[in-house]
Copies of this chain bind each other. A is one copy, B any other.
Amino acid sequence: MTENPENPENPDITHETERRARLTWSLLAEPSDAVALMARERLGSRAALELAREATPAELLAALDGQVPAEAADPGAGTPGARASRALQRWRGRLAAVDVEAVLEDADRRRIRVLIPGDEEWPSALDDLQETAPHCLWVQGPARLDRLAGERAAALVGSRASTPYGEDVASSLGAAFAGAGGTVVSGGAYGIDAAAHRGALAAQDGATLAVLAGGLDRLYPRGNTQLLERIREQHLLLSEAPMGTAPTRWRFLARNRLIAALSRAVVVVEAAWRSGALSTARLADQLSRPVGAVPGPVTSAASAGCHRLIRERGAVLVTEPAELLDLLPGGPAAGEGSFARQDELDLLSPADRRVLDAVPPRSGISPGRLADEIGFASREVGAALARLELLGLIEQEGQRVRRTRRTG
């Protein structure tokens, strides 16, 4: 066992102390508790916890350099001192009831793992959340989270109030993407989420990850219990909320940031003009994850949010599994297909275009013969060939002109 020279404590013990401190924070504070997140980021989980236990409001205020943000669920009101005081009240009210060891035993009995940064299974993608990263994660299932949330994880999300069209698309996209080795990340909700998970479950070798807003002991919504149990048996359930936590509106919104962060791309399959799925898309965009959206009939209100994303937010229009794959790292960016090349050709002057068109697709041709073919003077052909070569559209070798692979 090696000792960290800068930290005389046993590193394993330190890591387990950190796990207990973060777990405690997840029991004390909502994911949206901005004061808790700020205290953790500035002071570290353990030092922040000491303050939560023992500090006066003035001490907490001082430790945070006088900056106590309004937390999302309790916005705006009061002075920083008053907010520090309310934060301590919130935390202490819960702290009295916390029994960390009992929670860990309960989790162990249910085969729920509590993950924190530094664990092998902790997905590095979550680091992108920076100061809003979760205190810890609760995961349950045979799969390893760091592998599921790798390079080939994509979120398929959408409305609970879905149409048969949207569900069909979600499940066939989910099946094809999982079948191609991808992980379908979604929120386990009715409608599009459920259809996407089902598609992934149906695929050979598919993987899927359900990110829940409440505790893993409360599979929600009830009507999806069987589906979520299958995901738990075969793949993975995840939540940042401890057991016993009921899903609430705030927790759903906070959950969406995890779906976005754990995925390399987010595709909205069906969403109304205002929909929680649009918040997932916005969060993904903030995290520089590509956002795709599936179009539908303009007469269907259930697709209005998708159209809005494409029209106003620059989301990539997705019609089929290959286009979902294209969104992932290493896939060609949309607009770089053969049509984009076509656009480049369209930018050529008519004369250059005529010269290029006269170069046969496979064999070569001499500049002199080219000039004859199209009735241009040789000096004009020479100038056009020079421009086309600069653009990488043709190559000249001695007295032969050939198309490059880009135009062949």
- Hey, which bits of chain A sit against chain B, CB under 8 A? 65-70, 76, 79-80, 83, 165, 168-169, 282, 285-286, 294-299, 303-304, 307-308, 310-314, 316-320, 323, 334-335, 337, 339-340, 343, 346, 354, 358, 372-377, 380
Contact = CB atoms under 8 A, between A and B. Distances in A.
Contact of A298 (B320, B377, B380): B320
Given A67-B380, A68-B375, A80-B375, 15 more contacts: A70-B373, A79-B372, A83-B375, A165-B297, A169-B299, A282-B346, A295-B307, A297-B297, A298-B320, A307-B317, A307-B319, A311-B317, A311-B334, A311-B335, A312-B340
6 contacts: A66-B375, A67-B376, A67-B380, A80-B372, A80-B375, A304-B319
Closest 7 CB pairs of A and B: A295-B295, A80-B375, A312-B339, A298-B319, A311-B317, A68-B375, A310-B317
A375 B296 contact: no
A316 B311 contact: yes
Nearest to A278: B339
Nearest to A304: B319
Tallying the copies of this chain within the complex gives 2
Nearest to A346: B286
Contacts of A76: 358, 373-374
Contacts of A286: 346
Nearest to A286: B346
Contacts of A373: 70, 76
B312 A67 contact: no
Nearest to A374: B70
